[in-house]
A and B are shown apart, each in its own frame.
Chain A
Amino acid sequence: MSRLPHQSTTGRLLMPSIVVLLILLSLFKRSWLGWVNSVANIPTAILTPGSAVVSTAAGWLLPAKRPVVTSEREKALVEELEHWKTLYQREERNNEKLRKQMAELQLGRLINPESNITQFVASVVGMSSDLSSGLLRVRAGESLGVTAGTVAVTDGVQIVGRVLSVSGPTALVQPITRKGAPKIAGRVMVDEPNNIGLQCLLEPIGTRFRAAVQAPDASAANASRLVVEPGQTVRLDDDRWPESSQRFVVGKVESVEVDPANPLRVIAIVVPTVEIERISEMTLRIVNDRGEERAGGGGKP
């Protein structure tokens, strides 16, 4: 290291001391570094306004790709259709759940009260600084009721991800497609009008999912018609997620292939209906009813 002649002893020792300290800190056990999260909130809070401006500008210039619609009316109709489909699917699931709950009630258990959801739009203000990380930082904090596990959606029903942590005025959302994110149980809607779907386990692989689809029950009357095809919708069917998010859209089947290791199993590539990593804002769904959150796996991703 070059050294200036007028440096004092303290000045000469400062840099090596800091380097040694940083090496030690970089190797400390995780349990000794709990305080770093609080310290990290300071630069994050300072840098967030700047990155929010750039992120918003980038969102205007390079918007996320969405399905092509020719007119505003068509767009509204498509959104309405998806909305009603979701409501229908949810009611179906609720009915099924109610039947189970009635049985449980007979055994002396209580039915959970209906959920109470608060929704608000949060803008994406940036990502984490590491170049290989895909977490999205949104402007929504504890004051708005955001907690770890809060579900984020876009376009009304497309799941974006879940909040991983909240620090002051911002929160970090882990996209569902992010490699390393937890696997999701879903349902490929092979016959959506009749609400028939095949269970699948979706493994995030970056910007899409690799879904292992369970073969239909061979004894079912219409088993031969239950074929997974590109374009079919995949919906959430995972008890680890809040009840209010069940049957939301995870994505659409892009391609299908037979599992070479198991010819009876189908592997589908599922793509979200929107480029999750490039959206500029998302809707956060806050469950006010803690009971439901507990039912959804403790509200944690």
Chain B
Amino acid sequence: MNVIAALVAGYICFSLELGLRKAIAIGAAGVSPSFAFILCVVICLSASPQAALWTCLFVGLLTDLTWPHELVSGVSTQTFIGPYAIGYLVAGQFVLSVRRDMFRGNPLTLGVLCAVGLAIAQIVIVALYAFRSGYTPELEWQPTSQLLVRLGVALYTGVVGVVVGIFAGPLTSALGVHQAPQRRFTRPIY
């Protein structure tokens, strides 16, 4: 994988994610897609497992660090580290485990994997924060409503993932990730 290209792509994705959210958000809950996670799935679909997992971990860590929580007191914020990194890592492992059985050339593949992968990541994130809220009274956390909003986010990301999937070929080439030719009737022996 071309690390510099991946860093540039990551910067663009985070810029889109942080800057475009308010413009394309849907509903009162502000459901909007995660461009950074789409990049993770694109890399997970084609790159080596190590590169894919490190990317997920790095992107998740950056997401953690750029999310300051409002505390119940309303007078300050606190950044928590870990939940997104772990959630994205689990999602990345999921994509790695199913990618052999997917038609990577089909844009729908990216969309479906983005939706399902992000749903898995969000379940992990909500679970970790729900656990934390048990002994962090300053953190207001309503798991059910959070999960519903986040599943909406996963669906929206899936839809955007289909659009990105159309350009996935040039994108993977630019990122320098290896995409092995798929075998139609036999599975490769590892």
Contact = CB atoms under 8 A, between A and B. Distances in A.
A148 to B, nearest CB: 6
Interface string B14-53: 1111111111110011111010100000000000111001
Nearest to A180: B140
Nearest to A182: B74
Interface in B53-92: 53-54, 57, 61-63, 65-70, 72, 74-83, 85-86, 89
Given A15-B53, A37-B68, A182-B74, A131 B32 contact: yes
B55 to A, nearest CB: 12
B103 to A, nearest CB: 21
Given A2-B49, A25-B82, A50-B12, A131 B19 contact: no
B11 to A, nearest CB: 6
B160 interface: no
B80 A300 contact: no
B93 interface: yes
A132 B149 contact: yes
A37 B79 contact: yes
B22 A26 contact: no
Contact of A4 (B11, B50, B65): B50
A58 B25 CA distance: 12
A69 B29 CA distance: 29
B177 interface: no
B62 A43 contact: yes
Contacts of B86: 19, 22-23, 26
Contact of B136 (A29, A180, A182): A29
Interface in A134-181: 134-137, 148-149, 164-165, 172, 174, 178, 180-181
B85 A22 contact: yes
B135 A29 contact: yes
Contacts of A55: 18-20, 22
Nearest to A128: B67
Given A19-B89, A40-B65, A132-B146, A47 B30 contact: no
Nearest to B135: A29
Contact of A51 (B14, B76, B93, B149): B14
A131 B68 contact: no
A130 B77 contact: no
A196 interface: no
A129 B63 contact: yes
B154 to A, nearest CB: 9
A185 B70 CA distance: 21
B77 A165 contact: yes
B57 A4 contact: no
Q: How large is the interface on B (under 10, 10 to 19, 20 to 34, 35 or more residues)?
A: 35 or more
Please classify the interface of chain B as helix (H, G, I), strand (E, B), loop, or mixed, using the class held by over half of its residues.
helix
B81 A301 contact: no
A27 B74 contact: no
Nearest to A37: B79
A39 B21 CA distance: 24
A53 B19 contact: yes
A102 B101 CA distance: 81
B178 interface: no
B8 to A, nearest CB: 10
B180 to A, nearest CB: 13
B77 to A, nearest CB: 4
A58 B132 CA distance: 35
Given A1-B53, A22-B82, A47-B11, A129 B66 contact: yes
Nearest to A14: B54
A266 B147 CA distance: 33
Contact of A301 (B18, B75, B79, B140): B75
A182 B75 CA distance: 10
16 contacts: A25-B82, A29-B136, A30-B136, A30-B138, A33-B80, A43-B66, A50-B15, A50-B18, A50-B19, A51-B15, A126-B19, A127-B18, A128-B18, A132-B30, A180-B140, A207-B28
Given A23-B86, A56-B19, A128-B68, 5 more contacts: A26-B83, A132-B149, A148-B76, A182-B74, A206-B28
Give the 8 A-B CB pairs with smallest separation, nearest first: A26-B82, A54-B19, A50-B15, A2-B49, A51-B18, A126-B18, A58-B23, A51-B19
